[in-house]
Amino acid sequence: MPGPIVIGSERSEAGIPAAMEILRNGGSALDAVERGLRLCEDDLADHYVGTGGLPNARGVVELDASIMVGSTKAFGAVAAVKGFPNPISIARKVMEQLPQHALLVGEGAEAFADYLGFARAELLTPEARELWLAQLKTVPTESIEGENTKATSGDERYRLASLELVKRMAPHEGPWGTINIIAMDKSGEIVCGVSTSGYPYKHPGRVGDSAVPGAGNYADLKVGAAACTGRGELALRGGTARTVIENMRAGMDPESACAAALLEARLLPDDFRAELRCLALSHDGRHGGAAGMTGSTYTLMTESSTGPEFIPRRAI
């Protein structure tokens, strides 16, 4: 067996060492992925997952997460969940305890989490709130008044300013992106997990690729697993994670499979085009990633690693 091995997207290094520790001790890929992503979700300095994630346009943090098991293609996901810091664990419970369903959204997902006893918490940290308020302040008064000259009340002006943020899709200036972790355990099982607070200042209720099988997450033990970060609407429309898997099934190595999937997604017309990335792990332990810009990396640990290693992605 080529395992144990774990790979992850940029900033997954907050969770990858703990995931590898579980794998080294003979633990499951499922436990490793959940543990690794929980640590990323709890990292307050990370503004793209869990607590500290950047909010939607109205200042509310909404989280998406999913988990998929390669041998069974079992899948669990939650989307647009508010008030729960670890959506990856709720996604796992959807998969394990609600197998008649695969994806819960919004209030229904929150009710399920309440029922299971998950603790609620405030996810909007003061730092993330400041970043959001700073964005709101950049919306020029004219663009608000141009939309609705009757926008005289503070509340109405605020509502229009937040809608203007959605129209802009202004990216955040720091290290950005959803987090993927893919693990293979000693038995050869592969599990893929994805967690995100989604596009910063998104429209309330917007769900990206991270919660959707085939879009931002896919695992098929006969081939491997793949996951995406970046512009989720492209991965949703292109079925990008599944495309990576099908490219590998057709014989491509993981890096070439990722690059070809991104080139396919690039053909989609998109007025809001932004960076899309993917990474993949094959059933025989090969791995690779691709991105739209140079200098992008993914994170790797094997059983003999002393720490996370950063591997360049192919730039397309």
Active-site pick, 51, 178, 240, 299: 178
The values of phi and psi at residue 298, to 5°, are: -130, 170
Minimal CA–CA distance to 145: which of 161, 133, 134? 161
Q: How far is the CB of 305 from ligand GLY (least distance, A)?
A: 27
Question: How near is the Cβ of 162 to ligand GLY at its closest, in Å?
Answer: 18
Q: How far is the CB of 140 from ligand GLY (least distance, A)?
A: 26
Q: Which is nearer to ligand GLY, 20 or 258 (CB)?
A: 258
- Active site (annotated) includes residue 302: no
Q: Does 86 bind ligand GLY (CB under 6 A)?
A: no
Within residues 195-234, the interface with ligand GLY by CB under 6 A covers 196, 198-199, 208-210, 216, 228-230, 232
Cα distance from N-terminal residue to C-terminal residue, the chain? 32
Residue with smaller CB distance to ligand GLY, 27 or 216 = 216
Nearer to ligand GLY, 210 or 282 (CB): 210
Q: Residue 36 in contact with residue 12, Cβ under 8 Å?
A: yes
User: Which stretches within 251-315 are classed as H helix?
Assistant: 254-266
x/- string (CB under 6 A) for ligand GLY, residues 232-271?
x---------------------------------------
The three-class DSSP label of residue 209 is helix
**Residue 76 neighbours by CB under 8 Å, 6+ apart:** 66, 67, 91, 92, 93, 94, 95, 96, 98, 102, 103
Which residues, in sequence order, are CB contacts of 196 under 8 Å at separation 6+? 48, 49, 53, 63, 64, 65, 178, 179, 208, 210, 232
When the beta carbons of 253 and 270 are compared against ligand GLY, the nearer one is 270
Name the residue among 306, 298, 268 with its Cα closest to residue 281: 298
Q: How far is it, in rounded angstroms, from Cα 278 to Cα 289?
A: 6
Sheet containing strand 63-69, edge to edge, reads 103-105, 75-81, 63-69, 190-196, 179-184, 5-8, 297-302, 309-312
Question: Residue 229 phi/psi, 5° resolution?
Answer: -135, 160
Counting residues that bind ligand GLY (by CB under 6 A) gives: 12
Residue placing its CB nearer to ligand GLY in the complex, 36 or 208: 208
Q: Name the maximum alpha-carbon separation found in the chain.
A: 67
Q: How far is the CB of 229 from ligand GLY (least distance, A)?
A: 5
Shortest CB 303 distance to ligand GLY, Å: 30
Q: Where are the alpha helices (DSSP H) in the chain?
A: 16-24, 29-41, 87-97, 106-116, 126-137, 141-147, 154-168, 232-238, 240-249, 254-266
CB of 177 to ligand GLY, least distance (A): 7
Binders of ligand GLY among residues 25 to 54 (CB under 6 A) are none
CB nearer to ligand GLY: give 20 or 68.
68
Q: Name residues contacting ligand GLY, limited to 139-198 (CB under 6 A).
A: 178, 196, 198
Q: Which is nearer to ligand GLY, 4 or 177 (CB)?
A: 177
Catalytic annotation, residues: 178
Contacting positions for ligand GLY (CB under 6 A)? 178, 196, 198-199, 208-210, 216, 228-230, 232
